[in-house]
Amino acid sequence: MQQLEEGTAEVPGEPHSPLQQQTPSLESTPRRVRSLEDIYETYNLAILEPESFEAASKQQVWVKAMEEEIKMIEKNNTWDLVDYPKDKDIIGVKWVYKTKLNPDGTIQKHKARLVAKGYSQQPRVDYNETFSPVARLDTIRALIALAAEKGWNIYQLDVKSAFLNGVLQEEIYVEQPQGFITKGNEDKVLRLRKALYGLKQAP
């Protein structure tokens, strides 16, 4: 081994052998630095959100997410279970699934949302107005500037599912959601007291 090492040692003034020239060092090897965006994109490709209730019902994380959504809706007194009205159209509903991520790309929460198929609503029958009054940005800026001048404290509050808290003026019925059809009352529907996402009344 010692003779081999001596035979391949570099001799001052002589050119490198082809073998030595073809063997790159660690320092000379080009390395690609991946950005966080590339890492997150690759990571997110592995996150498959179900496209149907049938697919979601096979995974416990999505079953739990749907149960939490139904609990929130019922706690909000959103609907009543009633007999099927003969003179009213019934609006369909569907489940929409979304994986919420943390800033570092890890999973924060599995979210299931029950959405009404509002595209089937008829104007002046199922809804009258779709306008939702909100504060203008100029007004907010003026308020912040005034508070800064006067030394006032500003508190920001967030109302969860704010558009779903308003009482509906129209008489609207939706079908029972998949996976949560009341046993023994499969032929009944839900009359909405408050809006669901997807309705014209919930922009």
Q: What is the pLDDT of residue 52?
A: 93
* Percent above pLDDT 70 for the chain: 65
User: Residue 26: is its pLDDT beyond 70?
Assistant: no
Q: What is the DSSP letter of 9?
A: S
| Rounded distance between C-alpha atoms, residue 203 and residue 131, angstroms | 8
Which is higher by pLDDT, 185 or 119?
185
User: Residue 194: is its pLDDT beyond 50?
Assistant: yes
Q: What is the pLDDT of residue 125?
A: 47
70, 98 contact by CB (below 8 A): no
Q: What is the pLDDT of residue 126?
A: 47
User: Residue 201: is its pLDDT beyond 80?
Assistant: no
Q: What is the pLDDT of residue 122?
A: 59
Domain boundaries in the chain? 39-194
Q: What is the pLDDT of residue 117?
A: 87
User: Residue 106: is its pLDDT beyond 90?
Assistant: no
Q: What is the pLDDT of residue 88?
A: 86
| pTM exceeds cut of 0.85 | no
Q: What is the pLDDT of residue 103?
A: 87
What number is the average pLDDT over the span 113-135?
A: 64
Q: What is the pLDDT of residue 15?
A: 54
Spatial CA neighbour of 144 closest among 135, 161, 134: 135
User: Residue 89: is its pLDDT beyond 80?
Assistant: yes
128, 170 contact by CB (below 8 A): yes
Which is higher by pLDDT, 18 or 166?
166
Q: What is the pLDDT of residue 37?
A: 60
Residue 56, CA distances (Å) to 87, 98, 176, 181 in order: 34, 11, 17, 16
**pLDDT tens-digit profile of 130-170?**
555 567 889 989 999 999 999 999 988 876 666 677 788 88
